[in-house]
Structure formats: C-alpha cells, structure tokens
Amino acid sequence: MVTILERLRTALAPEYEVERLLVRGGMGTVFLARDAVLQRPVAVKILRPELATARAVERFLREARVLASLTHPNVVPVHRAGEADGLPYYVMDYIEGETLADRLASGPLSPPEALKLGRDLLDALEAVHGLGVIHRDIKPTNIFLLADRALLCDFGIARDLHSGATTGDGISGTPGYMPPEHAFGWNISVRTDLYAAAMVVYEAFTGRRWTAMLPEEKPDWSGVPRRMIPLLRKALAWSPPDRWPDARTFRRAIWRTRTRKYRRRTLLLTLGGVVAGALAAISLLWPPTTTSDVAVLPFSGGPGDSTIAEDLTTLTRYNLEPFMRRAQLRLASAGDVEAWRKTCGSPPDQLTSKCIHEARARYLVSGSLTRTTGPLSVDLDLIARDGTRRDAGRLAVTELSTAGHRLGHLIARVVAPEHESDYPGSTALSRRDPALISFLDGLRAFKRNSFRTAVSHFEDALRADPDFPLAAWWLSNAWRWNVTGEPHGPVDLRVLLATRGSDLPELDSLLIEAQLAPGEAARLAAYRLATERYPRNGYAAFLYGEESQSRGPHVGIGLDASTERLETALRTDSSFAPTLYHLLWAYIRQGNRERAERLLPRFTAVSAPRDEVQFYQPPLMAFAIAERFHPERAAATRGEILSQPDDAAALAEAFRLTAMLGLYRTLAEVGAALAAAPVTSAAARADAYEGQGLGRIALGQIPRGLAHLDSAAALRGSPAARLEPAEWRVLGRVLGIPGLTSDAVAAGRAELEALARRRPELRPRAAWALGMLAVAAGDGAAAARWAEVLGGLALDPAAVRLGAQLDAAGLGARGAFRDALARSAALLPFDSAARGGDPFARALLHVQRAAWLDSLGRPEAADSTRLWYEHFEFVRIPVGPAQAAEIDWAIGPHVMWVRGDQAARRGRRPDACRHFSRVLELWTDADPAFAPQITRAREEVRRSCR
C-alpha cells in the first residue's frame, strides 16, 4: 500500500527530499526532510488526511499564518505553505532537541534550569502576545529544550485576539494543563497563558503536575525555591485579575530572583511537537466509515479453546496498537470488527468478496488455534481487500505474554515491513503470565457485568505485577460500577496518567484525561473527542452519555440530549448493564413507558447475579416502572418488593433515589411505610421521615413536608440536623416556593440566628441563608451584616464561596445583572460535586442566574441554566440530611412550572404543554397556596396541548 510518507515524498519532490516521520499528533504529522537547493534539514508539517475538512484546513493555515507573522528573531520562520497531492502542508526550520516532557520523565530540572526555562517561556509569550495571539496549549510536550534555550511550539489552537472573540469555538486544549477560565469555557486573555506557563514552571521545579485547580485546594510547594513561591502563587491565582498583568512583568519579576542578569536568544517554534490528545480536533476526527488498515478478527480454536482464543485475540490487538500509531496506520477497534461481523459472520475461509469489501480494511487478520502432540499453535492468515490471502506465519504458544507480543510482530512485518524495526509491542501489558491471566479474567467479568468479580481479578493482576498500567485502569472502571458507597476509588488516575499515560492505548488515555478534566464543559468535550475518534467503542460512548446525564445539566445539557447519547452507546454495545439501567432511569424520568417496558427484559437478562452487586437492580427497576406508569398496581408491587428480604433491604437503603426518577409520590409514601415499620432503627426512621418530607415538598404539600423534616431532625438530635428544616423555611421563600407562611419563615430565621450565634461550625451556612433572605427582602443593612460575618471567615473555603454568592445576589437585587452573573460565574465549577458550601447553594445559584438572564433579555440562556435540576448526580446513596442533589430534585417541580410559564410567554407551546402537564400530574393534592400556579398551568394546557 502507498503510505503517507511515500505520498508526501512524491508530492514535494524535487524541491524537498522527505526522509522520515518525526512525530504524529492529534491533528498533524511532522516529517524530517532536506531542502534540495539549500542542502539543509527542514521540518514539514501536514494535516492528517482523514481530518482535512474545510474547517481543519482553515485552522491549519491559521497556524501557518501565526508562525509567519512572528518576525521575532527567536521565532523559527515558515519557508513555504501550500497543498500537494491533496495534502495541506508547510515547511519550516528543523530544530533538534528533546521536549520538556521527555526531560521530566527522568526527574525535575535543577533550580537554575527551571528558572531559565521560565524566563525563556515568558520571553516567547511576550512576543506572541505582542501580536495579539494567545497560545492556549502550553504544556511540556509543546516545549523543546536545546543546549542554550527553550522553544515553545504548536500554535494549532492559538487565538487571535484581534478577531474580538475570546470564547466561542468550544473547549480546546489539553486536560490537566488548562487554566480555570479555559477549562470552564469563560473568557480567556493573555493571563490565561501566564497561568499555564506557571503550571509548567512549577512542574519543572518539582517534577509534579500542578493539581490545585480549585481555590480551596492547597498546593504542595515542596521543591520550589522559596523566592519563586510568591511569584508562582500570583501567576496561579484563581481569578485572572489577581495574576501578573502580562508576560513582561512576570518575566522581570523572575529576573529579579538572580543578582546577575543575562541576555539570551529565545527561538519560538518548531513543529516537532503537535497536539497530543488535544481537544482542538473535536469536530475533525475519524468518521465511522473511515477505512482501517488492519482488522484483527476473533481467533478460532477447537473445543475447549475458546477462552485462550479470546485471550490471544485481545493480547494481539493490544500489542499491535502502538505499532499502528507509529506507522500512521489505523487498527480497527473490536467494536468495528463486531459491527462488521453482525452482517458478515462467515468463518474467515468462507468470506465472500462482498463481505471482505464491506469490512473497509486493507487487511483482515485471522488466527486459528491447533493442538497436536506439541504445544498449542496459532496460524495467522491475512486477507487483502482484493481477496488475496497470505500466510503470515505459525507461532507455538508457550507463554501468553510472549505469544501476544510475537503475534502482533508477525502482523506488523507483513502490513508495514518498512516500519518493522519500530515494532514496540505494548508497554501497558504485564510480561508476567499470572498477572496477564488475572487481567484477562477481569476483562471477561467486566464484559458480563460481574463488576465485583472483575475488581477481584484486577486486584490479583496488580498483586502479581504492581507495575501493570492496564490492570490499574480497568480496576478503576470495575470499581466505579461495583457500587460500594466509598467516595474514592483504589487507583489515582492522575498519577497513572502522569507516569504511564504514554504507555496506555490512545483511547484509554483519552478517557482518563476526560475524567480528570477540571470543568464539566472540558470533560464533556474530552469524552466527545474519544467517541468521535473511536465511534464503535461502546464503553467510550457510555461514559460520554453517563457524564451528560449525571452532570451535563449543570452546563445546559438536558435530559433529552443525554438520553440520545446513551441510546447511541446502547446501539454500539447492547450488553453493558450500566448503559441499560441509566437508560431506564431516563425513560422513567421522561415518562416514556413504552421504551422503559421494552428495555427492562433486556436489562434483566444481562444483569449480574445478586451476589455480584450491592443492589440487585432488576426488581427495583420493575418497581420503579410500575410506580411511574401503573399506579393502580403500586400497592401490590410494593408489597411484593417488601416481602423479599433482600429486595426490601435494598429499597429501604435506596428509596430516596426515587426522587431522581421523578417518583415523588413514591418517595413520600414509601417513606411513610418505612417510618411506620415496627423494627426500624432511629437512624432509619429519620431517613424515612426525610424522604417523606422531600417528597411532600415536591408535591406542593409544604407544611406536611416541613413537619416530616422536623421529625427527622428531632430523631437525629443534633444542631446540624436542625439546620436543614430551618433553611427550607428561609431559602424556600428566596426560591419563590408558595406555601411558606410568614410564621414559618420567622421560625426558620430564629433557628438560623441561634445556630449562627452558638454553633461556630454551622455559622457560615446559617449566616449565608440569613443573608440571602435579607437580600430577597430588600433589607440591605441585614444583608451587609451577614456578609460581614462571612467575610470574617476568610480561612474557610466554603464561607468564601458562600460570601461570593451572597455578593452576587446583592448585585442582582440592585439591578446589576451583568455584574451579578460575572461575580457568580466563578462558583459554577463547584456545581459538579456540589461544593458550593451548602446543599442549597447550587439550587439558589441556578435559579438566580436564570432570573438575571431573563432580566437581560436572554431567555434561551435562562432556560438552559434552569436545566440543572435534571441531573442524575449523587455523591452517595442518600442517608442523613438531604444532600444537594435531593434539594435540586425536590424543587424540580417548582422550577418546571417556571420553565412552563416562560415557554408560554415566549409562544413555545410544545414546551409549555410538556412542563405544565407534568406539574399538574404532581400537584394534584397541592396546598391551596399553589392554586394560582395550578390555574395558570391548566389554562395553558388547554391552550397549548391541543
């Protein structure tokens, strides 16, 4: 086959003699060439052919223009740009040297080296920013180290500030090296680059990534010279205005850390490094129909050999994958192969020419296992696209680790003989057979949804070989779905990515980067990158859908969009149980009876046995479907569940999650039944009252709900327990929930004032709630007094966040809506883990921001902000006082009414019909105080639901 190297070599001859590949990244590939006239080496960068859309070419040429416009003497010049044989390219000086990432692999730089790196980097940024360009992707792989200087490279996602845009092309960059405003999709500036540069300098001094991405996280300054700490601390300030104003000022501050100044030249750019895993290529990735170079079919064997055949297929794919990347070839994923086999399931020796062509692979690889008197043997055959067949060799299997490595090598030798010497095998696998056997057993258990067994196998693999990165990654996955209730998994993914990320398969690295991305928008963009790069991988598709469902509503991703993404995952892999139960959750919440009932048998069929999971979900799902769609059978269904001890125990432990599914009546009534049970403990009875209270509030039965919350607090008996019902009385008024009398609000205020005086540990929350009530009542003096209390707690991160939210509310109350939105924007990153400082903080934040957006005439943005309550995120199985998620769900019907009202005012009748119809279903027995809202909903339903 004609390789890209050969194609480029022909296209650029005779002016340039293209010699070899230098590096391949997310969007481009760089080759070493020789200028035939000047007889000097040059670097040629091309846009990867499969990405050459109009948008990609424009971005690529923008990079060339940026480089050409940098006439600074330390910038490598671009000599030529154009298109040859359909390949966009440009030519520049070739710079030889290692990247900072390569250098850091052996440990941190010496203090003088790190100091000089910082100066060089800021010198480069001073020139770049002087042209109105922001780099946006400063990281160790984009910095080259020469003998006398450091070079910043890769302007593939640079932003030209002269265009006037500071946001708008999505989240592009590298997770782990994004400043806060970049990760969260806010406005960027030159100070964004300064933050990223400081992260790199910190890593150069310490050998550790900068991980203190949120204001309350305390950085580890060990390894940083004492004089540099205040300089880096200023550069790494959370708020951009608190950072150095420009690269020149920051650089001069670093100059003053030495007594003798020295001048040096700083060369700016080589294109030897390209975006590795960057998010800039999100919309420019492989489409599902891209032709593969090699597709490894499942190996076949005789009776009793199916397991070893499956293992050898898996190991062969793992070992071949890094070679294919190096050779710029594409290996079809297991999902690609499985999708093809559904239509062409014939044995390899019986494939028709039509089936071979439909595989869209240059080579199909088949392996057959045979046993004779000697060891097990594997015969490899390659089938070319034109139907010709080639014997790739026979291998005797003695050890799994050796066999997988050698089988991959046999394939590499045939499909790309010119690159055979570059065959590395997989460094993500263990070389020890016991570890490999446990790992492969773990993968099988994971695929059949036996997550507890999978955890055990992966742990065995790591005991047999602690330096086994793939086992560590899959242990984190199995642990995640083996619901344990523990908040943290056994694997530090940040450490795994930093130390072994380059050894892992590309998809696995992308998924880890997505999980570690600091903001929700960045996480979703990273998952989208993975799914578009690997469209047939069911697990990647599921993680994207699950992230969208669990936390996407915090950034305006609604339930309809997340359900569609989960349905895509189901089409890709119909046997992964978490995909099915997340879809069942969605269908129940959306009221889609037909799909929920159709999916339940499939879910039951693939669910792991009872002893594999903490909660055996099929009967609980059947219960939820009956509660949502067949209320006439509710009593019988509950009785059946409660008659089975295991199912009854699971329901008692997880019943408060019914609010997540919109089953508020179930929440209240099951809570009542559990509270009345004769053998319930005081703690369990308190939780039952808690569920009753939250359910009644959602149903518009406010006094009854508050009475149940009071009962829960009395059973718990602690001052902290009294805080929640007091907050409901006060903050419910701020949220605009009907049915809260003046006496109820006064009682809540009195309780909060007492707690603020007597309980220092509760003072921040109580003061914040009282301040929010004062703002809503227009009592500026009281609001200022409570803001002062919060200001006196500056060492408490939660108090700082609550104080910022109170400040924003005050701005909004004075009509400064834009200022209120800007002040509160810094609080949005805490949405994902509900770390606003109080369980009510997230709800208040979104409700108020939506109101401010409405006031500014931005109804679409307001409605997107009000989507937050549709999330499915919970920190743990609910016990004790309500967590933030339960507060969100309980006020969901009220927010739904507001959304219906706004939709009706804007003439969006289908939306008004949907929201108001659901509200009327829930508020059938609401308090009289809800009568105006109910009347409005009924009138609009008659008008809009025709």
Residue 289 has what pLDDT?
40
- pLDDT tens string 433-488: 999 999 999 999 999 889 999 999 999 999 999 999 999 999 999 998 876 545 55
Closest CA to 120 of 152, 72, 75, 97: 152
Buried b (16+ CB within 10 A) or exposed e, 849-881: bbbbbbeeebbebbbbbbbbbbbbbbeeebebb
CA separation for the pair 653, 485 (Å, rounded): 11
Q: What is the pLDDT of residue 483?
A: 60
Cβ burial, residue 938 (10 Å; 0-12/13-18/19+)? middle
Element (H, E) at 83: strand 78-84
Of 530, 591, 547, 666, the residue nearest 913 (C-alpha): 591
Strand pairing class (389-396; 28-35)? unpaired
Is residue 324 within 8 A of residue 426, CB to CB? The reply is no
Between helices 469-481 and 451-464, what is the axis angle to 10°?
A: 160
Concatenated DSSP letters of 315-378: HHHHHHHHHHHHTT--BPPHHHHHHHHTT--S-GGG--HHHHHHTTEEEEEEEEEE--SSS-EE
- CA 883 to chain centroid, in Å, comes to 22
Cα separation, 211 vs 202, in Å, equals 10
Res 877: pLDDT: 82
| Number of Cβ atoms within 10 Å of the Cβ of 302 | 12
Give the helix, strand, coil percentages of the chain, each rounded to 5: 60, 10, 30
Under-70 pLDDT residues of the chain = 1-2, 25-27, 50-53, 55-56, 59, 62-63, 65-78, 155-173, 184-185, 215-216, 256-291, 483-488, 613-614, 679, 831-834
439 within 8 A of 455, measured Cβ to Cβ:
no
pLDDT at 52: 66
Q: What integer pLDDT is reported at residue 255 of this predicted model? A: 75
Q: What sign results for the dihedral spanned by CA atoms 473, 324, 34, 128? A: negative
Residues 6+ apart with CB under 8 A from 945: 913, 917
Sign of the dihedral through C-alpha 786, 792, 793, 799: positive
In a 13 Å sphere around the CA of 457, the CA atoms on its Cβ side amount to 21
Distance, in Å, from the CA atom of 747 to the CA atom of 645, rounded to the nearest integer, reads: 41
Token output for 689: 């009252």
Encoded tokens for 863: 């409605």
- What one-character-per-residue DSSP string does 100-160 give? HHHHHTT-PPPHHHHHHHHHHHHHHHHHHHHTTEE-----GGGEEE-SS-EEE---TT-EE
Q: Which residues pair with 355 in a beta bridge?
A: none
Which residues lie below 8 Å from residue 687, measured CB to CB, with a gap of 6+? 656, 674, 712, 878, 879, 880
Residue 584, CB-side half-sphere exposure with 13 Å CA sphere: 26
Pair of tokens at residue 241: 């205005």
Q: Which residues of 907-930 are buried (b: 16+ CB within 10 A; e: fewer)?
A: ebeebbbbbbbbbbebbeebbeeb
pLDDT 10s digits, 148-162:
788 887 766 666 665
Q: Which residue in the block uniquely carries the two structure tokens 């059946």? A: 640
Whole-prediction pTM value? 0.75
Tokens representing residue 539 in the block = 């697990």
* Omega prior to 859 cis, within 30 of 0: no
- Helix, coil or strand: residue 394: strand
Nearest C-alpha neighbor of 538 from the set 577, 596, 481? 577
Give Cα 85 distance to the centre of its chain: 38
